[in-house]
Every structure is written in C-alpha cells, then in structure tokens.
Amino acid sequence: MLYNLAIFIYGILMRIGALFNEKAKKWVLGRKNLWSTLPNINNRKVIWFHCASLGEYDQGKPIMEAWKKEHPKDFLLVSFFSPSGYEHIAKQSIGDFTCYIPLDTKKNAKRFIAHFNPKKVFFIKYEIWNNHLTVAKENGAELFSISAAFRKNHRYFKWYGGTFRKSLFLFDHIFVQNEMSKKLLNQIGISEVTISGDTRFDRVMQRAAKSAENKIIAPWANQESIFIVGSSWPDDEEIIIPYINDFKIKSKVIIAPHEVDQKHITQIESQLKVNYQLYTKLLKGEELKQHTQVVILDCIGVLAEVYKYGEIAYVGGGFGTGLHNILEPAAFGLPVIFGPKHEKFPEAQIFIDNEIGRSCDENKSFYKAYLSFKKDKLENQVLTFMESQRGATSIVMKHFLASKG
C-alpha cells in the first residue's frame, strides 16, 4: 500500500513539475498517448527489455543484439523510464517497438502486460518496478536482471526495505557485475545469481572498433594529443577551464558539456580566454582553424566518436549529478579523471585500482592527476584492461542456450 501510494504521489508531482520543468514535461507528454500507439503483436513471442535511460540501454543492447541473432522471429519490446534515454534512442532503437514504461500503478501494469504478454522480461541494472514485475510474473513471464550492481547501503538490504527485497525475489535469475553483489543477494536468500560482469564493456569495445573518422575533428587533431572533457557540468568546468586559460593544459581541448542548452554553452564561452570554436558552426561550414585551442561540442551524439582523438579524458558528473560513462573513452585507450562522488559506479573504483583512473576533489588534485597521466603513457595498459573485461554478453547468453531459450 505504501509503495502504491508513493507511485501515485510521484505521478502527481511529475504532472505538477511538467508545468515548470522541460524534462518532467517530456516525461508526462511521452506517456500521454501511449495506449493508442501500442502495436499489434500478431501472436509473436515478445521479449521485453526495460532500461532507465541511455546508459542502461547501452548495457542492454549487447544482449538485445545477441537475442535478435539467436531468435530473429521474436518481437523485441524496449521501454524507457527517462526522456533523455527515450528521445535519444527511439528512432534508432534495436527494438521492434520502443516506448516509455507506464507509471508503475497496478492498473497500468495489468494493461501493459495484457497487451504484450511478454515471455521473458529483462530489467537492466537498477531498474525495478514492482507492479510491472509482479504482473508479468503472474502472467507467466520469466524475469531477469542484467548487469545488476548492489551495495551494502542499498535499500534492499535495510530494515525498511522489505517491499523492495520482495521485488528481487521475483527474478528467475540475476546477472551481477561483481562478487560483492552476489554475496549481498546470497545473504538475503537469493541463490539464482551469476557473476557476468558489465555488458557495457562489450558495448563500448564494439563501438570503438567500428568508429568512423570525424571529418571535422580529424584534420585539426592531426596526431596531436587532445584532452577531452566529456559530459561536463558547471562544477567540472570551473575546475578545468582555469588550467586551459593559463595554458597549463598545453594540448588542444574538446569540451562536450552534458547539457547543451544555450545558457550552459554561453556560460562556458564566458569563462574561456583562449581561441575556441563551436561544433555546430563547424557543421555549417565554418573552417576549424589549426590554432584553435578548444572545440566546444554544443550538440549531442558526437562525443563517443571523438574520444578516438584523445590522449586523456575527464568525465563529468562526479561532483553531484552522478558519474557519466567512463568506459567510452577507455575503449579508445584513454585514462580517465573524474570527480569524488563515484561510490554508486563500481567501474570507477575498478579503474582506480587498475591505475587507469583517478578521482579528484578540487583543482590541485585534478591537475595532479592530469600531470600523472600526461607523464605516463597508458594507452596499452588501458586497452589491455578493457579487453580483459569483455565477455559478459556471452556469459548471459550461455545461460539461455543451456536452458534452450
């Protein structure tokens, strides 16, 4: 009852928030006409993958691709919780149908499950919606969690986490990233657990191998070392830009802010005292000059392909919003610097332990990390580590091949 009340209140708050917040507005409008857009399945076997946002989609995509290859006649349903994931992926999704997951009420869950009648359901990483999982289970679906990662302070393992713990017991099998996650699940009585690793390693290495040349950036990079600031927020930029202005970072720089609205871009421009150019203007024909010190990627969808020109990367979000993808630059051999709040991201500590990542908490520690990576050429070490982490997709798929689907 408390869970359902919380979901009801959440729905009301999102509708109120939609009056003032653009992301909340997209969340509400994206679900407004959902029921009228649901496709006719035509008796096909539905396999449902649910992702919170873009990062979880990247974790799930290797499994989706492998499943599609093994079972080409199956209907792949892909759902998102967040607008930032749905809007970026919807038009290029591997799914036969891609949509928002309805608000997790019992009524919505019953209607959604009744329409699609999924036979297997995959929820990626942290996403767990109790009503949709319960109804799917009651409807005969097999439930799986992919690339899950758990910490001791997760609500599932707290005295007040009974409802959330029960949700974990709905899964037929849980594929986790590490030994700690398996141990925590075993301690509460869940034994159907396999340590598979993180499928994102498979995804980023696959993308890196297929990356094409960026015709705008390549001539400017011209085999020089490039420092890449990816998915940055103002807290990140306030630390880094002074070192760019003082030429303590002597290499060329690419800044790719997480938010590319005009206000944020203008804020970055106002701080820079060196020559810079905007990527959107380069797309319109402006010449990228060799003496330009900084290129600002003021649009989305380019960052992943320009990491290939980098030597060192800084990845933002580690000062409060949540660390962004540090695997993407590492897939090209770049060591990574990031902010101090990374306890929810196990890959960050793994990078630190393997000396290919460093955490910074202020200006001096950032620059110390930068100088350290500048001194030690780590490309081969980074790539060797990334290769060693591949294989999660194969481990997951072996489970289904062994059980014949």
Flag whether pLDDT at 106 surpasses 90.
yes
When pLDDT is cut at 50, 70 and 90, the band that residue 344 belongs to is confident
**pLDDT value of residue 74:** 96
Q: How would residue 403 be classed by pLDDT, with cut points 50, 70 and 90? A: low
The mean pLDDT of 125-149, rounded to a whole number, is: 95
- Please state whether beta strands 75-80 and 46-51 pair in parallel, antiparallel, or not at all (unpaired): parallel
CB-based contact 132:99 (threshold 8 Å): no
**Alpha-carbon gap, residue 14 to 10, rounded angstroms:** 6
Mean pLDDT of all residues in 50-73: 93
Inter-residue contact 276 to 294 (CB < 8 Å): yes
Mean pLDDT, the chain, rounded, equals 93
> Which pLDDT score, from 0 to 100, does residue 232 have?
96
Q: What is the pLDDT of residue 147?
A: 94
pLDDT band at 163 (very low <50, low <70, confident <90, very high): confident
The yes-or-no verdict on residue 170 having pLDDT over 80 is yes
Q: State yes or no: is 142 an active-site residue.
A: no
* Class of the CATH domain delimited by 38-198+391-402: alpha beta
Alpha carbons 73 and 185: distance in angstroms, whole number? 34
Residue 167 has pLDDT above 70, yes or no: yes
Average pLDDT value for residue range 109-127: 95
Residue 19 pLDDT exceeds 80: yes
CA dist 222 → 214, 216, 218, 309 (Å) = 12, 11, 6, 9
**Residue 117: pLDDT above 70?**
yes
Residue found by looking up tokens 């869940």 in the block: 190
The total number of residues written for the chain in this structure: 405
Q: What percent of the chain has pLDDT over 90?
A: 82
Q: Which amino acid is at 131?
A: N
- Of 375 and 241, more confident: 241
Domains of the chain: which residue ranges?
A: 38-198+391-402, 209-388
Cα 155 to Cα 4, 11, 148, 310, 335, distances in angstroms: 17, 21, 14, 39, 33
pLDDT surpasses 90 at 153: no
Are 342 and 321 in contact by the 8 Å Cβ rule? The answer is no
What pTM value is reported for the model?
0.86
Min mean pLDDT across 154-163, 240-249, 389-398 is at 154-163
Q: What is the pLDDT of residues 357-399, one digit of tens each?
A: 999 988 789 999 999 999 888 999 999 999 999 999 999 999 9
Two tokens, residue 142: 């097999």
pLDDT of 307: 96
- pLDDT band for position 85 (cuts 50, 70, 90): confident
CB-based contact 307:313 (threshold 8 Å): yes
148: alpha, beta or left? (left if phi > 0; alpha if psi -120 to 50): beta
- pLDDT (mean) for 158-182: 92
Tell me the average pLDDT across 30-39: 93
Tokens encoding 41? 């399945």
User: Please, which pLDDT band fits residue 224 given cuts at 50, 70 and 90?
Assistant: confident
In the CATH scheme, what is the homologous superfamily, with its name and number, of domain 209-388? Glycogen Phosphorylase B; (3.40.50.2000)
Q: How confident is the model at residue 404 (pLDDT cuts 50, 70, 90)?
A: low
Instruction: In whole angstroms, give the CA distance from residue 155 to residue 151.
Output: 9
Residues 286-314 have pLDDT tens digits of 999 999 999 999 998 899 889 999 999 99
In this chain, the answer to whether the domains covering 38-198+391-402 and 209-388 adopt an identical fold is yes
Closest C-alpha to 327, from 231, 252, 235 = 231
Q: Which of 22, 56, 65, 87 is catalytic?
A: 56
Which DSSP letter does residue 177 get?
A: S
Contact of 275 with 295, CB cutoff 8 Å: no
